[in-house]
Amino acid sequence: MAQIQPHQMLRRPRRLVPGDRVAVVAPSGPADPDRLAVGTSILRSWGLDVVPGSHLRDIHPDLRYLAGSDAARAADFQRAWLDPSIAAVICARGGYGVQRMTELIDWDALRAGPPKVLVGFSDATVLHEAVAQRLGVATLYGPMATTTSFVADAGTADHLRRTLFDPAGTTVLTSATATPLIPGTAHGLTAGGCASVLAADWGTPTARASFAGTLLILEDTNEHPYQLDRILTQLLRSGALDGVAGIVLGSWNGCGRLERVRDVMFERLSPLGVPVLWELGFGHGPSTLTVPLGVPATLDSTAGALTLDVPALCDEMPPAESGES
């Protein structure tokens, strides 16, 4: 299957409306039951009909860091995506496991249907890449149904809600912590996610051939500065970052002293000669923005903002197989 080109705008799913059915699936680690109850309650308070995946509460009998078997997790995701009554697929949590199931999904069958919303971050980075490359569909790098930021931070939940229901009102992304690491402006399609997951995914069948021309978003958690150096160095040496238009950095929760993280980012990324924005406020932090992936945008790192050319979601469902102009 041909991959989507970096400059090619992806199909945008339609925005949500009250009454829509949304599936919650666990493609990675097992969901915490208490946080799952709170998270689904929040989704229902928005007028959504929450449909739990058949294996949402499974735990792998031997590898308890997985939410059930690879086949079961893949089946839940595929079933939700193919169900015409489901408008969005929301991941329950991250952890690890998506890479183990991506080859078990019938991507040709999924491509035949209309695009729908995918929400997740962290380990879901692999799903974002696969959906972009195999289906040509824009997605949302945002909080999941059982993550602490979603269930405990009202601002995080509200930004996801507004992105889902009123995407025209969330085309400018900025935060109090957003400052220029390397000043400048750039334009391209948004792409990326969790840095360590991107590095681990590079070279696999569902990864893209190049991030050239993209505005690459990067964040991570619990990686020491030297580990972040190793991750960035691998992406640089592999050619993954050749031709990238700009870089947008998110949170680095648990990664040690932020000034040391900032030093690593500057030392590794400044030779690229592109604008780099420090700490836009998305990812593994206690509060997080929802960042659309696969949408054309302008990065102004000097002003501390990422501005989408178009809303993340559209008002009407686009045709199943055609791209947008």
Exposure b/e, 35-69, CB count within 10 A at least 16 = b: bbeebbebbeebebebbbbebbebbbeeeeebbbb
pLDDT for 154-169, tens place per residue? 999 999 999 999 999 9
Is residue 236 a contact partner of residue 267, using CB atoms and an 8 Å limit?
no
d(CA 142, CA 19): 21
Residues spanned by CATH 3.50.30.60 within the chain? Answer: 172-308
Q: Name the residue with tokens 């939410």.
A: 67
Cα dihedral across residues 295, 300, 305, 309: positive or negative:
negative
d(CA 71, CA 100): 9
Catalytic residue, from 55, 128, 159, 284: name it.
Answer: 284
Alpha helices, DSSP H, located in 3-62: 33-45
pLDDT for 270-284, tens place per residue? 999 999 999 999 999
- Secondary structure of residue 286 in the 3-state scheme: coil
- Which pLDDT does position 317 carry in this prediction? 60
Query: Is it the case that residue 84 has pLDDT exceeding 80?
Result: yes
- Average pLDDT value for the chain: 94
- Which pLDDT does position 113 carry in this prediction? 85
For the residues 71-78, what does the mean pLDDT come to? 97
Q: Does 41 qualify as catalytic in the annotation?
A: no
Using pLDDT thresholds of 50, 70 and 90, give the confidence band for residue 81: very high
Q: Does 128 qualify as catalytic in the annotation?
A: no
Query: Is it the case that residue 133 has pLDDT exceeding 70?
Result: yes
Catalytic residue, from 28, 69, 122, 301: name it.
Answer: 122
Measure the CA angle with vertex 124, ends 118 and 128; round to 5°: 55
Length reported for the chain? 325
Say which CATH architecture domain 172-308 belongs to. Answer: 3-Layer(bba) Sandwich (3.50)
pLDDT above 90: percentage of residues in the chain: 91
- Which pLDDT does position 209 carry in this prediction? 85
- Which pLDDT does position 323 carry in this prediction? 42
Catalytic residue, from 28, 175, 196, 219: name it.
Answer: 219
d(CA 142, CA 197): 16
pLDDT for 193-252, tens place per residue? 999 999 999 999 888 989 999 999 999 999 999 999 999 999 999 999 999 999 999 999
Using pLDDT thresholds of 50, 70 and 90, give the confidence band for residue 321: very low
Q: Does 122 qualify as catalytic in the annotation?
A: yes
For the residues 246-270, what does the mean pLDDT come to? 98
Give the DSSP letter string of 302-313.
TTTEEEESS-SS
Residue of 170, 131, 137 whose CA lies nearest to 8: 137
Query: Is it the case that residue 4 has pLDDT exceeding 70?
Result: no
Query: Is it the case that residue 143 has pLDDT exceeding 90?
Result: yes
**CATH of the domain spanning 21-168:** 3.40.50.10740
Residues spanned by CATH 3.40.50.10740 within the chain? Answer: 21-168
